[in-house]
Structure 1
Amino acid sequence: MNVLKKLFLIVPYLLFFSLSHGSYHTITIHANDSTLLVTGKVVDSITNQPIHLAAIYLWEHQTDNAPLKTAMTNKTGDYQLAYNRTPFYLKISYMGFQPQTKRIETMNGSNIDIGTIKLLKIDNKLEEVTVSSKRPTLELITGGYKFNADNNVIGNSTNMAELLKQVPGLTVNELEGKLQLLGKGAAVLINGRKVNMGGQDLLNYLKSLPSNDVLSINVLTSPGAAYDSSGDGGILDIRLKKNTNLGFFGSASASVSTLWGTDESLNLNLKKNKFEISLGYNFSYSENQHKRNDLIKNYYLPDSSFLYKQEQVSHRSQRTHSIKTNTLYHVDSTSTLSLNYWYAYFYGKFPNERDAAIYNRKDEFQRRIEQRDLIFLDNNFHIVDLIYDKNFEKKNKLSIGLNYSKYSNENNTSFWRKAYNFSGIGINSSENNSRNFITTRPYEIWTFNADYKNSIGKDIDLKFGAKYNRANTKSFFKNLATNENIVSGEESKEDEVQYNENILAAYAALDGKYKGISFDVGLRLESFDYTLRSISMSEQIKNNYINLFPNFYIRHDFDEKKSISLSGNRRIERPGYNMLNPFVVTNNPIYFTNGNIYLKPYFANRLDLQYSHKLNDNHSILLSLYGNSSNNMFAYVSRYNQEAASPEFNYYNDYNQQQIGGYFMSQNKFGSKVNISTYLSLQRPTFKSNNAEDILLPGMLNFNGSINTFIHIFPKTTIQILGFYASKRNSFQMKYGATGYVTTGVQQKVLQDKLNISLTIEDIFNLQNAPISSLGNVIAIESINKLRSRYAKVSLSYNFGKTFSIKQAKKLEKDSRID
């Protein structure tokens, strides 16, 4: 533990920022020694006049997140940088001009003169948005791929949960509260900071955040040791837009859909001297209708009833607010201090009407049941980040972060249920019931992390860090009977659950490049313990685990166009608090649900082989093959509860899954008008149970694919067509039917590209009447689900701002940040 304490005091978290893209060139320079003095000149391409205070950034890799060196041009347009490693990338940027990025390849040289760089002037002062739109929809990155969202027409003026549905390989299941990557669970990060929520809470939080803030989404199927080990399917790192221009900028957007729904947002950004300040607000309201037809076979009903034919209709509505503030202070030329605050509010109202006809085993009508449910959700989310970043000489970097998260969740569910005979007359039945379930769950999470990156040789870096996470919750549950048809002693039940969780982690990783081989190997150590205490239980549950998580990534570049890589990692999936909670919910007349306090984490091992080939400047492909294996998984299955004499749905650690699969991605550009990205994945899982009595569905080959097309029919008019399809698939006792949709959107830019007007039509072809089946030993459910999702939406977004004048910018010459 002494080693852990030392690492805990030393290390950092690396906070990424997005790179704006401009033109790209490669320059090869022959020289003699290893000390580089890079010089050059920047002028206006039309007037050939020198550009004063143009920004010069130097990176070792184009995908790096912070420059190694920075400089500014003087009054004659000249600049110089000292550097001792090759090759490298140089980016030249100045407001009102299109930025340029150059790759410099040298032969151990010194005193390199790049020559005169001519920047092309642009009319639109908000050109940064236009330049970034040239990026392809899909890009290959270390450990996975990137989905670029900043040019998305369909995902404009909606929420993050809706935008995630466009990410290839990702499945967003709102009804079950699942977020899965290639059939496995995925952890979610925003700007590299983990969102410490799961299940329906996570989806509700993402629904409350606007999609207009999203720049890109990194899909990491093989994340490195610096990332948390949780999430057996990988990591989704949502990267937000960042204003890099000196001045005051903002955007406002509004949309309305026929579903019915509306979204409004306002974002303001100020960058002046040493401060960068942003403020954002978003409001959304939506209504929807969910229909479901069920055929339920129950093999253990005491009155020999066998078949339920049930219809459900739910008219849903939800309202969200979110506020975010970000303040970044440049302490000096090498360090920054940032304070970020997020607030989100989610309110949902879900009335549900159930009508069921019940038949016995002879297919004779027995009775009819009516049930009316009313569910209210009231969630509040607060997240605060305090981050300090420091860049040292020789590429060494330190990052220290403190995060505080506080969530409150109140769920109020009431229902009444009544049985009727064939003539529609009410009858006495044990199924007659009326109850009110009240759940309050406030919890808070403290996280501290520190990361350090040290250059230990040419093109080789050593990274190590530590992290501490503590979560606490004290939840209250009440099951209250509201009529007299309840057995004595069962009128009301209450429970209070206290849950405390601690995670202490340390990691070390080595990455670099040697003779055409790029590598990233690491090892992460995590200590995890939790305590769960319930008033209704006589015992206190305690568990403690210490585990190692290795990972590796090796890539060989045949040339600039072709590469092959092999990666592997070990990850963990821990039971969420909702899975451990023992509180019993009995609002369904056929079965009940509850949690399992004895659940344990399980591990997932994965191996990926990737081949990428850039055919030319317009076409590239990526092929990936993978395999993963998990034992003693927890899964949500049905079993018969002898004590309650009723079927139950619960989580158990009895299941094993092996999966093999692959995916293919292509990026294609046809002239200057058409960009098409395609994605297709296939996987074949197999399931096994340690319990011989469990019935499991067989694994089957399944696939999902998407095609995303952008057509620039006019210089300022863009059409986006998105198609998605997922085939039938099984998961333990659950069988999912095929689903898919085709969505189109058109966007027109006016008022010097400051105003964007878009029209979106979703589900041109609606395949979302999705069957879902559950097959168990004591209960079988066949359901047809239909979520009303065909709609049209009109969106407006307006960008505004003012670049500070050169006179104001000259004040930067006295700024200590200028090297």
Structure 2
Amino acid sequence: MKMLRFLLVVSILACSLLSPAFAQFPAAGSSQPKALPGTAGDQSPKGSARITGSIVDSASSKPIEFVSIALYDKSNNKAIDGTVADDKGKFALTKLAAGDYKILVSFIGYANKTVDNIKLGKGQDVDLGTISLGSNTKTLNEVTVTGQAALIEEKVDRLVYNAEKDITAKGGDATDILRKVPLLTVDLDGNVSLRGSQNIRVLINNKPSTIIANSVADALKQIPADQIKSVEVITSPSAKYDAEGSGGIINIITKKNSLQGLNLNIDAGVGNRGSMLALNGGYRKGKAGFTIGGFGRGMYNTVTKSTLEQTSTVENVTTTTRQTGDGSSHGLFGNYNLGFDYDISKNQSLTAGVKYGVRNFSNQQDLATRLMKTGSTDVLSARNVAADNLSGTVDVNVDYLHTFKPQQEWSVSTLYSRNDLTNDFDADIFDDKNLKARQRNLNKSINQEFTFQSDYQTPIKKNQMLEFGGKGIFREVKSKYSFLIAEPTGDYRPETDQPAGDLTYHQNIAAAYSSYTYTTKKRYTFKGGLRYEHTFIDAATNEGVVGVGNYGVLVPSVNASKTFKGTTVKLGYNRRIQRPGLQQLNPNFNSANPQNITVGNPELRPELTNNYELGLSKNIKKTYVNATFFGRFTNNAITQVRQPSDTLAGAIVTTYENIGKQHAYGANIFANIAATSKINFGMFANAFYTKLTGQTVGQDGISQEIDNTGVNISGGLFSQATFGNGWGAQAFGFMQGQQIQLQGKQGGFGFYTVGVKKEFANKKASLGLAAENFLSKRFKMHTELTSLQFNQVNDIYLYNRGFRLTFTYKIGKMTMDAPRRKAKSVNNDDVKSEGGGQQQGGGGQGGGNAPR
């Protein structure tokens, strides 16, 4: 309670210290942005009246997204307020004074429309109903839009970060974007946490992929940052989403267009640590459209150094290990796609696509180890390890959407996904600088799944929405591993101490859900739902059937919000399930670094989490402030457990067990200030108190309960500016404090970047320069782990100073087409994802592919 009171005081002080002299962000909980900066809307007289309505295409009767709405005072014919329709064509102008008004509705590709003679009384709500826009076939040579889109949008169950204006993103990947999203933390390995939890689901355009199932960190490297439109952080998922992901859901939305004609975009970048080339094109004529794209990125000059010192005791014999490591890595990442969509009729559409992702990542590590055992002479050894992490992923989807009337629709979605993964390492073992032996570990996995999903939604009156649907997921994962040894020369042979093995894991899920949304005239919004999932497990290793068993779970969710006097309050509760991923299940004995070994546990059960949150947000003129307080309670938690090896002197073995409880209480604070229409800056801070409880094996071989508590703090600052003649600049800085673990704490780190960009040739081309961590040669991450049987201190030095030059060019002439509702796609947001974790002492390797 003391911690909660402290966080509350901090949030109140933060709100009070922010100057009220700035403004420009949508009211929290609103589904559409307010007036653009610099418009007369900033000086509109305030009242309690309200104007609402919806915009549709006059030919298809489909909603039109993002239509501009301008409000004029009829007494002087001046614009005094404005807004933009949401993704369902709805808009609302609020806090209006009594008077006579008219509105102007406009959107590219449509003829403008004026709704005149609108009379507002004090506190009156006027519903303009459905407004139809007719197509305007005139081709526009150039359209200039003044003002900036809201950086942050807040909805009843999620926070949306608009990433399109990130000028430092060129040549980077999705990791560079996610580091800047409030509520998220991304460590230096690319592992993503939401409010301190890595138990999250990551989707791409509302779709899962087996590439994400294996490792979030590796998958993010394949997504080019400059192709990301926005990132949705869903902290309180509704019943419509899969029950998996105890920490929440991250949905990465990539850029799309609804243009007619032919276009081709070329993006290129070169830097001291990586280079990239991307080609993305599209062709649309009439009812049919095609897209094709390819992205490739090469990474090089990635250097790490590490030191490790650990002491372990087994049967009253103490062994001290001192190890140093010098490593480097390089990789090639690619992402290629082919898409097709077709309007069967004015209310039916079909979408299909094929995506292929490739990852070829190699890591080289030279380890020097000294073992000092009680009563024995020191043992010196050296080990050169070359590890390969290779994968190829194919996703094929076919989706159908039938729209009966605005917001009433039925969809059928299918997805087939397959990931072929190779995780191998070769080690040369030296004794006094002479090659003594060679070792090899081969681990190949196949993860494939098929999903069928059907959803239906229908409005009830004007302020209610009912959604329900069903889903079936059929998954199969196979992982085979073997260990080989050899003399300095000659052929490899099986290693008898570590026999070959395999894991076959079938996981089928049947799910059904129902969700209901209700909105009152006084701006109360309630969204509740119930979801049931039944999981069927059939798993076995080469030693026999694994006793996991089938299980069912009922998952409720409730979200509510209320906006009053510019402040929005949100309350949320949901229950989540977290299934283990294959890296946690895979029994492959990963000994790339024999002093730090990892092995999975195929008998892991799912963990259950209850989440509670209270959110407050407010616009204070040009300042937007958001503070969220949360509690997360997890039982049967999947926890990393480390203990000394019984067979390898000085080695620490890491595995996973369902032995933990994790309780976390904290707050997230975010503030953004639009100093002018072209300059904005802000800050964010995350702080939470966590308590972890679990079990470990004591020196007498008996399980003993252990616990650890502490505060995790992180935060950052950012600033962005646009200038005349196509110039722009941006800066960002982030600091992560220490992270509490069951058996110790992992050190923090920092990250900062600046960038400038210049646009040419009527914005058809641009040139940019970005730099990151350029003031320091290296960064040190200090980790300490302790237990009754061992102590470990690990320092990793990362040399990540980087510079990159980027170039973009657009080819083709396009005309705007009416926005269309695309067929919905499969959304498998389940299974505990694998970040890969911080590798202690280097030389680690991934453990396979997670079952989805």
Common fold, TM-score beyond 0.5? yes
* Residues 433 and 483 in structure 1, CA contact (< 8 A), matched pair in contact too: yes
Q: Which residue of 2 aligns with 1:599?
A: 604
C-alpha displacement at 1:156, in angstroms?
Answer: 2.0
Q: Which residue of 2 aligns with 1:518?
A: 525
1:658 to 643, 659, 663: 663
C-alpha displacement at 1:780, in angstroms?
Answer: 2.3
More displaced, 704-713 or 658-667?
A: 704-713
After superposition, the Cα gap between the structure-2 partners of 1:433 and 1:171, relative to the gap in structure 1 and judged at 3 Å, is farther
Q: Which residue of 2 aligns with 1:490?
A: 496
Q: Which residue of 1 aligns with 2:554?
A: 548
* Residues 404 and 445 in structure 1, CA contact (< 8 A), matched pair in contact too: yes
Q: Which residue of 2 aligns with 1:12?
A: none
Indicate whether 1:65 and 2:72 are aligned. Answer: no
Partner amino acid, structure 2, of 1:612: S
1:773 to 760, 763, 784: 784
Indicate whether 1:445 and 2:449 are aligned. Answer: yes
C-alpha displacement at 1:547, in angstroms?
Answer: 0.4
C-alpha displacement at 1:382, in angstroms?
Answer: 0.5
Indicate whether 1:370 and 2:388 are aligned. Answer: no
After superposition, the Cα gap between the structure-2 partners of 1:278 and 1:488, relative to the gap in structure 1 and judged at 3 Å, is closer
SS at match of 2:613: strand
Q: Which residue of 1 aligns with 2:142?
A: 124
More displaced, 150-159 or 105-114?
A: 105-114
Measured in 2, the distance between the counterparts of 1:509 and 1:769 equals: 48
Q: Which residue of 2 aligns with 1:417?
A: 429
Measured in 2, the distance between the counterparts of 1:490 and 1:784 equals: 34
Q: What are the residue-to-residue correspondences of 1:451-600 with 2, within 5 Å? A: 451-483=455-487, 490=496, 493-516=499-522, 517-535=524-542, 537-559=543-565, 561-590=566-595, 592-600=597-605
Q: Which residue of 1 aligns with 2:351?
A: 338
Indicate whether 1:732 and 2:732 are aligned. Answer: no
C-alpha displacement at 1:101, in angstroms?
Answer: 13
For structure 1, which runs of at least 5 residues remain unmatched after alignment? 1-17, 29-33, 42-51, 70-88, 427-431, 813-819
C-alpha displacement at 1:253, in angstroms?
Answer: 0.5
SS at match of 1:57: coil
2:285 to 272, 291, 299: 272
* Residues 171 and 270 in structure 2, CA contact (< 8 A), matched pair in contact too: no
Measured in 2, the distance between the counterparts of 1:179 and 1:97 equals: 45
C-alpha displacement at 1:357, in angstroms?
Answer: 2.6
Q: Which residue of 2 aligns with 1:7?
A: none
Measured in 2, the distance between the counterparts of 1:670 and 1:686 equals: 40
Q: Deviations over 1:651-698 (max 9, x none)?
A: 011111110001111121112331113211111101112558457563
SS at match of 1:600: coil
After superposition, the Cα gap between the structure-2 partners of 1:531 and 1:488, relative to the gap in structure 1 and judged at 3 Å, is closer
Q: Deviations over 1:505-539 (max 9, x none)?
A: 1110100201321111011101112221112x133
Partner amino acid, structure 1, of 2:728: T
* Residues 483 and 495 in structure 2, CA contact (< 8 A), matched pair in contact too: no
Partner amino acid, structure 2, of 1:706: G
Q: What are the residue-to-residue correspondences of 1:41-190 with 2, within 5 Å? A: 57=64, 64-67=86-89, 92-95=106-109, 107=125, 124=142, 134-173=148-187, 175=189, 178-184=191-197, 185-190=199-204
Q: Which residue of 1 aligns with 2:694?
A: 689
Q: Which residue of 1 aligns with 2:393?
A: 381
Q: Which residue of 1 aligns with 2:362?
A: 349
Q: Which residue of 2 aligns with 1:49?
A: none
Q: What are the residue-to-residue correspondences of 1:678-757 with 2, within 5 Å? A: 678-690=683-695, 693=698, 696=706, 698-757=708-767
Q: Compare relative contact order (CA 8 Å, sep 6+) and give the higher one, 1 or 2.
A: 2
C-alpha displacement at 1:57, in angstroms?
Answer: 2.7
Measured in 2, the distance between the counterparts of 1:168 and 1:707 equals: 11
After superposition, the Cα gap between the structure-2 partners of 1:548 and 1:396, relative to the gap in structure 1 and judged at 3 Å, is same
SS at match of 1:543: coil
Q: Deviations over 1:92-145 (max 9, x none)?
A: 31259999999x9985667999999999998636x6xx67x8213222222231
Partner amino acid, structure 1, of 2:732: L
CA RMSD of aligned residues (A): 4.0
* Residues 98 and 120 in structure 1, CA contact (< 8 A), matched pair in contact too: no
Partner amino acid, structure 2, of 1:498: T
After superposition, the Cα gap between the structure-2 partners of 1:35 and 1:660, relative to the gap in structure 1 and judged at 3 Å, is closer
SS at match of 1:698: strand
C-alpha displacement at 1:555, in angstroms?
Answer: 0.8
2:808 to 778, 797, 800: 797
TM-score by length of 1: 0.82
After superposition, the Cα gap between the structure-2 partners of 1:119 and 1:660, relative to the gap in structure 1 and judged at 3 Å, is farther
C-alpha displacement at 1:332, in angstroms?
Answer: 1.6
Indicate whether 1:206 and 2:220 are aligned. Answer: yes
Measured in 2, the distance between the counterparts of 1:35 and 1:139 equals: 19
* Residues 438 and 487 in structure 2, CA contact (< 8 A), matched pair in contact too: yes
C-alpha displacement at 1:483, in angstroms?
Answer: 2.9
Q: Deviations over 1:264-313 (max 9, x none)?
A: 001112222112221111111111112111112122389x5632221111
SS at match of 2:305: strand
Measured in 2, the distance between the counterparts of 1:93 and 1:384 equals: 34
Q: Deviations over 1:399-424 (max 9, x none)?
A: 2110110100012211122344xxx7
Indicate whether 1:399 and 2:411 are aligned. Answer: yes
SS at match of 2:238: coil
* Residues 376 and 413 in structure 1, CA contact (< 8 A), matched pair in contact too: yes
* Residues 552 and 568 in structure 1, CA contact (< 8 A), matched pair in contact too: yes
* Residues 93 and 99 in structure 1, CA contact (< 8 A), matched pair in contact too: no
* Residues 679 and 720 in structure 2, CA contact (< 8 A), matched pair in contact too: yes
Measured in 1, the distance between the counterparts of 2:54 and 2:536 equals: 53
SS at match of 1:124: coil
Measured in 1, the distance between the counterparts of 2:552 and 2:814 equals: 53
C-alpha displacement at 1:237, in angstroms?
Answer: 0.6
* Residues 318 and 346 in structure 1, CA contact (< 8 A), matched pair in contact too: yes
Measured in 2, the distance between the counterparts of 1:785 and 1:686 equals: 26
Indicate whether 1:250 and 2:282 are aligned. Answer: no
Measured in 1, the distance between the counterparts of 2:609 and 2:104 equals: 40
Measured in 2, the distance between the counterparts of 1:37 and 1:219 equals: 27
C-alpha displacement at 1:36, in angstroms?
Answer: 9.0
Q: Deviations over 1:171-218 (max 9, x none)?
A: 33464x732211112101111112345575333232122222210000
* Residues 464 and 517 in structure 2, CA contact (< 8 A), matched pair in contact too: yes
Measured in 2, the distance between the counterparts of 1:582 and 1:488 equals: 17
Q: Which residue of 2 aligns with 1:298?
A: 312
More displaced, 686-695 or 600-609?
A: 686-695
Percent of matched pairs sharing the same residue: 20
Q: Deviations over 1:142-178 (max 9, x none)?
A: 2231111111111123222333222233233464x73
TM-score by length of 2: 0.79
* Residues 747 and 782 in structure 2, CA contact (< 8 A), matched pair in contact too: yes
After superposition, the Cα gap between the structure-2 partners of 1:62 and 1:534, relative to the gap in structure 1 and judged at 3 Å, is farther
* Residues 96 and 122 in structure 1, CA contact (< 8 A), matched pair in contact too: no
Indicate whether 1:222 and 2:236 are aligned. Answer: yes
